[in-house]
A and B are shown apart, each in its own frame.
Chain A
């Protein structure tokens, strides 16, 4: 069967050639523009992953430090700083691992560095040891008394606020400012040297508040607000509503 030549418009042939040339050109350009490994694992250049993985490392990791400084590490592991990596304070030490003489890691001596963690800040979790920098031996270097690898002081703190600055701060401006910590907390002797092994007790019953705030209470000052312990608060503990270190905060 023959097809009449006149059934195909004559301009289609040059157009088809132009289209074919255009598509071929695009494919050739694409071949040179699209990177070799593009699309190997997805819509990205697979080589980029290896390039990122090959970047140099600055922090060597504490394991590299332990290989040489195992004595310091062992001492540190029995102290409150056991969770710290060497490079937390000493800075990146990758270069030191490569060449011990050429690069020495930093040794922060000033108060400012320790205060970054141990300065009192209301947003820090309670129980984290914090000091008031203006009141805690101002002007003296922390390392004068505290060995950073074993930070417990040779002299036990004389005052609870040395560690519990947040609570002391709050209590100092509350109506409970004159109460000593051991009025409510039973503090074992060892607590100042081994605070986590020998914990201070917290009150467990309402009676301890009742000693001053009960209707017929005799303890404490006369101006202390009085309530009827039998009817006030129902089955709740006093500290469910009143924060004992800042009792007037509740409405």
Chain B
């Protein structure tokens, strides 16, 4: 048999393939993208009685009320087992000192947990206040956009979460977050951030920081529900979001934030 003559005629090949078509059809349909993306049978059930589609969480922070005691940052570390070293925070308190001219001086020694030392700088103090910071739970979250593996996402109840077991620790999201709200957990080597205490709010509890806030600086509730404390906060506060020009649509609203807050 010369190499130029195939062992199987084209006609025979097509014929055999046609006979096996049902097998091919079955094989391809079993692995179609639709099938791969929607295997809902094995999904575990959410907490009983909890419907994530019926919630849209938001937080309010009233800067005029914050006394900078740092109990929120402390409670957050207790609740979420955030490492105690002063580099890792899911929430922290910043002190802004605005001189009459020039940029504001911003500091946050140990996230405010140990209190703030007296300001000893040479600048005159024109305005000064505390600003609690946390993940803004953006509707258009830059961190979600850049995640290469789908480990961070906006949940159906509007909370930005990190799938710890799926995160590869590439740190793209930490770079992308305009609010500096993420850090790489030193033990798990995965990205970590505020979850609005998702394990608490789904059980009807308040986030730990809101629970312990002694001056009601932080309020938490359902956006757009009249019975929620957020409603009153949004109605009577001069409400803004941080870095609104980035169009990230944060769900953390600040009241009393002046132009220096960023």
- A interface list, Cβ under 8 A from B: 2-3, 5, 8, 10, 13, 24, 27-28, 30-31, 34-59, 61-62, 81, 83-85, 87-88, 91-92, 115-117, 119, 121-125, 128
Contact = CB atoms under 8 A, between A and B. Distances in A.
B128 A123 contact: yes
A149 B95 CA distance: 29
Contact of A117 (B67, B79, B155, B208): B67
Contact of A49 (B6, B79, B125, B161): B161
Contacts of A36: 39, 42-43
Contacts of B43: 36-37, 40, 46-47
Given A44-B151, A53-B203, 16 more contacts: A44-B152, A48-B164, A57-B200, A57-B205, A59-B208, A61-B211, A62-B211, A85-B212, A88-B211, A88-B214, A92-B78, A116-B69, A117-B214, A122-B119, A123-B129, A124-B68
Interface residues of B, number: 71
Nearest to A124: B67
A88 B69 CA distance: 10
Contacts of A49: 46, 52, 155-156, 161, 198
A35 B155 contact: no
A13 B50 CA distance: 56
Interface of B: 4, 6, 9-11, 13, 27, 31, 36-40, 42-47, 50, 52, 64-71, 75, 78-79, 95-97, 114-116, 118-119, 125, 128-130, 150-156, 161, 163-166, 195, 198-200, 202-203, 205-206, 208, 211-216
Contact of A40 (B38, B75, B154): B38
A75 to B, nearest CB: 17
Contacts of B44: 37, 47, 50
12 contacts: A13-B6, A40-B40, A43-B153, A47-B44, A49-B46, A55-B198, A59-B78, A85-B214, A122-B118, A123-B68, A124-B130, A128-B67
Contacts of A35: 166
A53 B47 contact: yes
> For chain A, what secondary structure do more than half of its interface residues adopt (helix, strand, loop), or is it mixed?
loop
A238 B143 CA distance: 51
Given A56-B199, A83-B216, A121-B68, A45 B211 contact: no
Nearest to A46: B43
Nearest to A50: B44
B125 A122 contact: yes
A41 B156 contact: yes
Nearest to B96: A123
Between B9, B156, B199, the greatest number of chain A beta carbons within 10 A of the residue's beta carbon is seen for B199
A17 to B, nearest CB: 10
B194 to A, nearest CB: 12
Nearest to A123: B128
A54 B198 CA distance: 9
A54 B40 contact: no
Contact of A27 (B31, B50, B67, B75): B31
A115 B115 contact: yes
Contacts of A119: 115
Contact of A5 (B9, B78, B153, B195): B9
Contacts of B96: 123
A5 to B, nearest CB: 4
A48 B212 contact: no
B38 to A, nearest CB: 7
A55 B75 contact: no
Q: Which 9 A-B residue pairings sit nearest by Cβ, starting from the closest?
A: A44-B153, A48-B163, A39-B37, A55-B199, A27-B31, A123-B128, A36-B42, A88-B212, A117-B69
Contact of A38 (B47, B150, B205): B150
Contacts of A125: 64-67, 129
A83 B214 contact: yes
Between A42, A49, A119, the greatest number of chain B beta carbons within 10 A of the residue's beta carbon is seen for A49
A58 B75 CA distance: 9
A130 to B, nearest CB: 9
A8 B9 CA distance: 11
B42 A58 contact: no
B214 A92 contact: no
A8 B114 CA distance: 79
